[in-house]
Homo-oligomer: A and B are copies of this chain.
């Protein structure tokens, strides 16, 4: 009953899944732990996700743990047709193909809901919103939802505030094993990769400007410095700026930095961080990219207005000729460069997030009837279990608090 572009592509999809599976040991351990027990037996899980190899691995894990799994893509452009075919081949119900129209995307969401899911794994909250707004009769069966994105959680919290959230939503995005790792290490490395991939330029000795010294900016700044770059940090928070300074980065205002930087990467979560006044002061050949979630950090609209002329300088890189004759280069239209012009997060990073997803779904099921219809933090035990399994897969042992140590700590 699935709908995929070409079921015959399943072989390629399986090879892709096989590769990432090897580097997702926590999911592997969960599979070992739950494949016999099958805790999700009898339940239907609807997944709305970026459909590629790593998410497919999560879908298969849920299937092996007993669930009936129905899947659609969360973005028409991120679906990989061979992976979709592989999931269909494995017996899942899949409704997704690359290049769906908006109507098709919506119809696919409806298809999923037609299976009357018990649990929802959402990415952006589209599926849940459709359920609540248009299929109230199906709401009662739903035990809960896990949501991994910042955006999705904002929507969930707004729904809760409005008194309209009918079931608990687990904020997987806020789990320590998620945000401590994917921002600093995942986005850090994959943004550096994206720069290298799209430019084939040298990092050593080059002057990079990293806007923002939160987890993402810090991760990028540290990785670039590790490769020999000179890194300038811009910030609006003086305490973070002082941290960057104390760690040896050069701190400037963007007004100064724009005049000396060779490459700019934004990671602020804010809008208009690099804008008209900066474009006009930049060096000829400056390169701009964005590692923040939304494509508003570099003011692309202003860039386009200013440009006398544009041309594709390399795949994924557009050149904009400024009125002063200088050319600025923009990677991936200012969209999240590690995804839009890269390969996304490494498998090892997603392994941690997806293990937290899996255990959060299990927690929802185990706690059925006891949780409030709110956005809930992932319990510390889940973070610790994920980390412990990961450490175990690496053969790493850590210390345990002795009774006397616990007592000592509790004394305070």
**A residues 287-327 touching B (CB-CB < 8 Å):** 296, 311-314
Contact B285 A245 (CB under 8 A): no
Residues of B within 8 A of A237 (CB): 384
> How many angstroms between the C-alpha atoms of A397 and B242 in the bound complex?
11
Stretch at the interface among A87-95, A98-106, A197-205: A197-205
Stretch at the interface among A16-24, A68-76, A160-168: A16-24
Contact A241 B204 (CB under 8 A): no
Contact A285 B193 (CB under 8 A): no
A1 interfacial by beta-carbon distance below 8 Å: no
**A residues 247-288 touching B (CB-CB < 8 Å):** 247-248, 250-256, 269-272, 284-285
Stretch at the interface among A122-130, A219-227, A358-366: A219-227
Number of interface residues of A (CB under 8 A): 89
Knowing A200-B346, A201-B23, A202-B346 are in contact, say whether A253-B18 is a contact too (CB < 8 A): no
Contact B241 A185 (CB under 8 A): no
Contact A239 B384 (CB under 8 A): yes
> How many angstroms between the C-alpha atoms of A251 and B237 in the bound complex?
29
Stretch at the interface among A34-42, A111-119, A137-145, A400-408: A400-408
Copies per complex of this chain: 4
Residue of B nearest to A242 (CB): B387
A188 CB to closest chain B CB (Å) equals: 8
Knowing A200-B343, A247-B205, A399-B253 are in contact, say whether A391-B19 is a contact too (CB < 8 A): no
Contact A202 B348 (CB under 8 A): yes
> How many angstroms between the C-alpha atoms of A176 and B404 in the bound complex?
31
A397 CB to closest chain B CB (Å) equals: 4
Contact A346 B313 (CB under 8 A): no
Contact A242 B202 (CB under 8 A): no
Contact B238 A204 (CB under 8 A): no
0/1 interface trace, chain A 224-241, chain B, CB 8 Å (1 if under):
011111100011111101
**A residues 366-412 touching B (CB-CB < 8 Å):** 383-384, 387-388, 390-391, 394, 396-402, 404-405, 408-409, 412
> How many angstroms between the C-alpha atoms of A177 and B239 in the bound complex?
7
Residue of B nearest to A317 (CB): B19
Contact A271 B398 (CB under 8 A): no
Contact B271 A408 (CB under 8 A): yes
Contact B248 A225 (CB under 8 A): yes
Residues of B within 8 A of A391 (CB): 238, 241-242, 245, 251
The 7 tightest CB contacts between A and B, nearest first, are A226-B226, A238-B387, A202-B346, A228-B248, A253-B397, A202-B348, A205-B246
Given contacts A235-B398, A236-B399, A239-B387, 11 further A-B contacts (CB under 8 A): A177-B239, A189-B202, A196-B196, A205-B245, A223-B227, A229-B248, A230-B248, A234-B398, A238-B398, A251-B391, A254-B399
24 contacts between A and B (CB under 8 A): A22-B284, A181-B242, A181-B243, A185-B204, A185-B205, A186-B202, A189-B196, A192-B227, A197-B343, A200-B343, A200-B346, A202-B348, A205-B248, A223-B227, A226-B227, A228-B248, A238-B388, A238-B391, A245-B394, A251-B391, A253-B398, A270-B401, A271-B404, A272-B405
